[in-house]
A and B are shown apart, each in its own frame.
Chain A
Amino acid sequence: MLLKSASFALIVVALTACAFAQNDSAIVVLGQGAAPTQVLVVDPPNDGGEKLDVSWTPTAQPGFDILKYEVLAAEAAEGPFKVLAEGDHKMTSSVITSGNGLRLEHDHPYYVKVVAIDSTSLAVPDSTNPDSVVVRFEKRLRRSESAVAGPFVPRAAWFNMNRLNILLLVLAFYFAVMFMVRRAKAGANIQFRRIAGIDAIDEAIGRATELGKPVMYVPGTQNIENIQTIASIQLLTSVAAKAANYDIPIIVPLNRAFMVTVAEEAVKQGFLNAGRPDAYMRDNIRYLSDEQFAFTSGTTGIMMREKTAAHFFLGAFYAESLILSETGFVAGAIQIAGTANTHQLPFFVVACDYTLIGEEYFATSALVTRDVEMMGTLKATDYMKAFIIACLLASLVLEMLGVQFLRSWFQVI
């Protein structure tokens, strides 16, 4: 009898150990056990009605080894429910969006439930021997579902209040620009400090003229939708006009096919402005490749073969910046670079003769052309910058006094 009881106990222990190593089918329990309670669904504000905030209270009953939670949603109370979010046992809220075959749209009703998944051991009779008193313990995953909550109808907002601060600043900037443009047109004296890199444009082109070698202008490696490329194209017209004045060719290697037409027009405009449309050479606007290093290789090849004497690297650059500028240095060219990509600035600073840093780069077009309206815009930028510096200083003082409203007002969500 003792032996039989000991054997039974051993078998139970062994089978229990084995059972915990298994991962069998789940048992579903509705609205009880580990099921979360108080499922709360909120339509988050300031969105397009494609999200729902779901929160719940974990069961207060002890003894459940909850592994994870799943948040399910459906278009009807009876389902089919789709899992839209899941997380570990610590999770008590989640933001659900479209997924898993269910699209969350504004003005549509949705039903939500939360499932807690825990592991439990079940005693199962030994099916191989119906007369045996031995039972096996199997580990099962148990799904405890909350009650279905809903319907909830997400609404789409017509204005994102979280971005009100940006709107106000953009409007302030817009009015500052309009005001300064008007003042500039009225003849107000607008002065700016001299920027060595801008003054050096003439020097670079002059040197290329002395050597009788072409000028190279690289308008970055991004497409026209990049604001740095747009700024570069504005400047390309001015540089092309100066090159036309000195009667030297300007080579423009391009990294984007779309830029071919844009660059052709910009250079053509420059030659036209200089009164030398006949000197414009279409073949010098060269599309090389969309691939970053194929373009880099092609451009450095042009530098070395055609011995370009002045290089302008103005636009958005990435890893190719140093390869281009160092090759240009080796080729002995005078080099002017400008970019707003801060990580590339050190490379340009080291390898180029002049570097236009950040805002200087965007100011170049206005300072080169001396266009009244553009100068007004530039002045407005300066005033906006002064406003931001004032806000930073005020924020610094307020933070030290424990007041955080200015910092939180500037936060962008």
Chain B
Amino acid sequence: MKREIPILITLVFGVFMIVQFFIPHPAVNDIANRLQNWAIIVISFSYVLGSANILRINGELVYRRAPGWPYKLVLVIAFFTMATPGLILGIAEGSWTNDRLFTFTYVPLASTMYASLAFYIASAAFRAFRVRTWQASVLAITALIVMLGRIPVSHFIWQDLPGIVDWIMGVPNAVAQRGILIGAALGAIATGLKVILGIERSYLGRE
């Protein structure tokens, strides 16, 4: 019964959520919205578990002076620095917590991290475009054409270049992407059916 009841719950609610997609009547949609709100409530409780996980793991490592413990200490201090004012002063837009800690401190750090992506792209592209096989040659030539066609003065190089780039992006590239998407969509549906029908039960944990 320990496994049958969760499988039954998954089956009932899974089938209901599929069925509601086909029924626009508010009587059904209201229940579906309510179920989704339940999910949000359950997920919001998980932040308590997440916080406990952070403090337990990192606090213990700091206490034991494990290798790299200063990093863990920084994490724990940052955790309390963000959480305490947030709990006391609130996190509404314009509040001290939101402005000083999030917008003026975290957001620039995240933007810096995001900006570093440009360098990662450069190093990855360098490796990808090394001509070793004929496939790599096709990739390198295609990439070169697309890059040249995307620059503002591309039509000065060759007036047909932007059109060729549009064709590469709109035909071979789009065809490949759609092929992948069709396969992935079927895989996603199959995964959903496996869970709903109880074929896949690993999410239930121990047998």
Contact = CB atoms under 8 A, between A and B. Distances in A.
A227 B43 CA distance: 16
Contact of A319 (B27, B114, B123, B177): B114
Contacts of B56: 283
A377 B193 contact: yes
Interface in B43-71: 43, 46-47, 49-51, 53-54, 56-57, 60, 67-68, 71
Interface string A86-124: 000000000000000000011000000000000000000
A294 B123 CA distance: 22
A159 B177 contact: no
A47 B106 CA distance: 44
Contact of B49 (A260, A268, A283): A260
B171 interface: no
Interface stretch (A16-24, A140-148, A167-175): A167-175
A50 B26 CA distance: 9
Interface in A160-214: 160, 163, 166-167, 170, 173-174, 177, 181
Given A227-B192, A381-B190, A373 B128 contact: no
B177 A237 contact: no
A385 B185 CA distance: 10
Interface stretch (B86-94, B152-160, B198-206): B198-206
Given A294-B110, A305-B71, A373-B199, A350 B127 contact: yes
A157 to B, nearest CB: 5
Given A230-B191, A322-B121, A323-B120, A260 B50 contact: yes
Interface in B162-191: 177, 180-184, 186-191
Contacts of A260: 46, 49-50, 53
Contacts of A37: none
A298 B197 CA distance: 37
Contacts of A160: 22-24
Contact of B187 (A258, A291, A358, A373): A358
Contacts of B106: 291, 294
Contacts of B207: 269, 272
Interface string A33-56: 000000000000011111000000
B114 A258 contact: no
Chain A's interface: helix, strand, loop or mixed, by majority? helix
Nearest to B194: A377
B54 A48 contact: no
B122 to A, nearest CB: 10
B188 A340 contact: yes
A197 B198 CA distance: 27
A231 B205 contact: no
Nearest to B54: A287
Interface of A: 46-50, 105-106, 156-160, 163, 166-167, 170, 173-174, 177, 181, 223, 225, 227-228, 230-231, 233-234, 237, 254, 256-258, 260-262, 265-266, 268-269, 272, 283, 285-288, 290-294, 296-298, 301, 305, 319, 322-323, 326, 340, 342, 345, 347, 349-351, 357-359, 361-363, 365, 373-374, 377-378, 380-381, 384-385, 388
Interface of B: 18, 21-27, 29, 39, 42-43, 46-47, 49-51, 53-54, 56-57, 60, 67-68, 71, 75, 106, 109-110, 113-114, 116-117, 120-121, 123-125, 127-128, 177, 180-184, 186-195, 197, 199-200, 202-207
Q: Which 7 A-B residue pairs are closest in the complex by CB-CB distance? A: A362-B187, A257-B50, A359-B183, A265-B205, A358-B184, A340-B184, A258-B46
